[in-house]
Every structure is written in structure tokens, then in C-alpha cells.
Amino acid sequence: MNAAAKKQNSDKAASPMMGGLGLEDMGDLSALLAGPEAVVQGGGPLALDMALIDEDPHQPRTQDNPGFSAQSLDELAASIQLRGVKTPISVRENPAAEGRYLINHGARRFRGAQRAGLSTIPGFIDNDYNEADQVVENLQRNELTAREIADFIGRELAKGVKKGDIAKAISKSPAFISQHVTLLDLPEPLAEAFNTGRVRDVTVVNELMTAYKKTPQDVAAWLGDANQEVTRGSVKLLREFLDAKSAPAPVAGAAPAAAANGRAEAPVAGQAGKPAAAADKLKKAVVHVRHNDRTARLMLERRPPAEGVAWLQYIDDGQELQASLKHVTLVALLEG
């Protein structure tokens, strides 16, 4: 029995009122005053010695979020000084240092308690805890960046764990895993935009990656413009523009392939008497124009405010504006 527990038992024996109050069965409260080696019979938290606790160096959250800012921690410390730590932290035994503990979750509370000058903190010892559990914990709180998630997936893949098993372990879809795997091997222009925080949306990164595989120079030049906003909308317009740019131009006077081979198309069953769909008709027209030396899409679905004026949407950044048709040059007519 440690000194704190002996003191509590001594206090209990010295107080004649304890028996009358029915507190003689509350010996398990000594665990709250004892060290982390104590066993709490009632299942309550231990009073863990702060000096024996370390933050996990392999915690998947490697970048402090706003909740870990100096201001936020100072506010938490003030609350702890006033009210104490209300939610216990979770720790596990440190396999590399006997008698010490690693934090499973509760690092922010731990730092706040340090600032508040506490010597102990309420907590539970849970040795059945792994990195996947930490990922799930932080995912549910939206405290992991896309890079941190990707790095965790990369480490699991390096161990030979399959993507499907990783998805199951962190309760995410296989598509979620595949999207983050893309982040592990980005080409330089995309890696720079992602690593500097210019683009954080994993979907946007994957869309850019698809475009980069087709026309790397164009995408690199687009990202090279420091004023270019990178959003889902602007990347969608970029891809539309690049697809239109790479589409082969129709040859004037070219005949349909079947006619050129001297063969007539056989009628489709059930379509007798109905004319075949004209190959030269567009299902949906997309008009690209040039305005102020920038490529834009003519917004045919939006009613113009007056005759001779039209709504345009720039391809590079998605900006919408009204423009006089006198200052617009037709660039391409595409099928949407």
C-alpha cells in the first residue's frame, strides 16, 4: 500500500463519524490518490502522475490544430484550474520505458493540465489500443489532415496490410482509402500545392491528378499562377477546357465511317420506320469564347439582362460576369 492510501486509511480510522455516515465501504477512493499502479475496484479513473506520462510520438495527428494553439491551451488551463479535468484521458503502458505511459487520447487535456500546474490527471489505462484506434478517434473529431491520413495508410500498406482491411479498420470506404493513397506519390507541381496548404481538398487533388496525367504541362502552368484559386469549381472548368483543347477537330466533308466503307447501317430492331439520329446534331451545346484574353464559357442557361449582353464564366477561376458580345470572340462549339 502506498503512502497516499495509508494516509487515507489512517484518516478513516481516526474519524469517529465515518462509520455513522456509511463511508467505511469507500476504500476504493484511495485509488484516486494513489499512483497509476493502483487498481480501482469501482471502475473509476486513476489519478495518474503527470511526470510518468508521455505523448505518443507516433500519434497520427502530427500537425497541431487550432485546439492546440497557445491561446486555446491557456483558456483550457484556466478552466482546469477552476473546475479540474472533467473527462479522464486514456493511456497505455509504454513498452520502451517501464513504469511510464503513452497517451492514447486526451493530449490536449494533458497539455492544459500541465499549464494549470497539476501533478496528477484522471485517466484510464487501456493497453488494448493501437494506431488505427487513434486514427478513428481523430477522424471522428475531424482532427486529422489529409496528409496525416495518407501517411497512416502508407505505413499500413508498407506493413503489407491490404486497402480493404485498412478501410475496415478505420470504418471508411475503399474509395476513401484510394483517394488518400494518391497523396503519397504526387508529381512536383501538385505536391507543392498540397504540401503548402494551397489545396486541402482530397477530391480536388484527385481531379487535378487525372488532368495532370493527360496534359501535365498545362496543369503545371495553371498551378504556376499564384493568383489562381484552386477549388472544385475551378478545377472542373480547367478539365472541361483541357478536354476541349485536346479533342480532335472534325474534318470538313468527312462522311460517316459506315458510308466511307461502302456499307449501310442496318436498322435497329424495333426502330423500323423511325429516322436514325443525326450524327451532326449536338445533344447539348457548350460554347467557349475569348474575353479579356481569357477563355470563358457562354452561360446559355442564364437569361441575359439585355440584348447584345451575355453571361460568361471564366474557365480558369469560375468567375461569372456580364459582357457585351461586341467584346467576345467565339473559340469553340462543343458537346456537353
pLDDT tens column, 148-196:
788 888 988 999 999 999 888 877 888 888 989 988 889 999 989 888 8
Higher confidence at residue 111 or residue 277? Answer: 111
Higher confidence at residue 140 or residue 180? Answer: 180
The edge-to-edge listing of strands for the beta sheet with 329-335 is: 320-324, 309-314, 294-298, 285-291, 329-335
Report whether pLDDT(139) > 60.
Answer: no
Q: What is the pLDDT at residue 51?
A: 94
Neighbours of 26 (CB within 10 A): 13
**Cα 201 to Cα 191: distance, rounded to the nearest angstrom:** 13
Q: Which range is least confidently modeled, 31-45, 210-224, 275-289? A: 31-45
Farthest CA pair distance, the chain: 113
**Cα 218 to Cα 139: distance, rounded to the nearest angstrom:** 35
**Cα 114 to Cα 49: distance, rounded to the nearest angstrom:** 11
What pLDDT digit, counting tens, does each position of 12-23 carry? 443 333 344 344
**Cα 287 to Cα 163: distance, rounded to the nearest angstrom:** 42
pLDDT confidence bin for 53, thresholds 50/70/90: very high
**Cα 111 to Cα 80: distance, rounded to the nearest angstrom:** 11
pLDDT confidence bin for 270, thresholds 50/70/90: very low
Q: Computed from CA positions of residues 101, 103, 109, 112, in that sequence, does the dihedral angle turn out positive or negative?
A: positive
Mean pLDDT of 27-35: 39
End-to-end, the C-alpha distance of the chain in Å comes to 79
**Cα 172 to Cα 180: distance, rounded to the nearest angstrom:** 11
Mean pLDDT of 65-92: 82
Q: Specify burial of residue 92 (Cβ count, 10 A radius: 0-12, 13-18, 19+).
A: middle
pLDDT confidence bin for 50, thresholds 50/70/90: very high
Strands 101-105 and 285-291: unpaired
Report whether pLDDT(29) > 60.
Answer: no
Number of H-type helices and E-type strands within the chain: 14, 10
Report whether pLDDT(120) > 90.
Answer: yes
Neighbours of 328 (CB within 10 A): 18
**Cα 190 to Cα 80: distance, rounded to the nearest angstrom:** 43
Report whether pLDDT(122) > 90.
Answer: yes
Mean pLDDT of 215-225: 90
Q: Which three cell numbers stand for residue 63?
A: 500537425
Is the overall model pTM greater than 0.95, yes or no? no
pLDDT confidence bin for 100, thresholds 50/70/90: very high
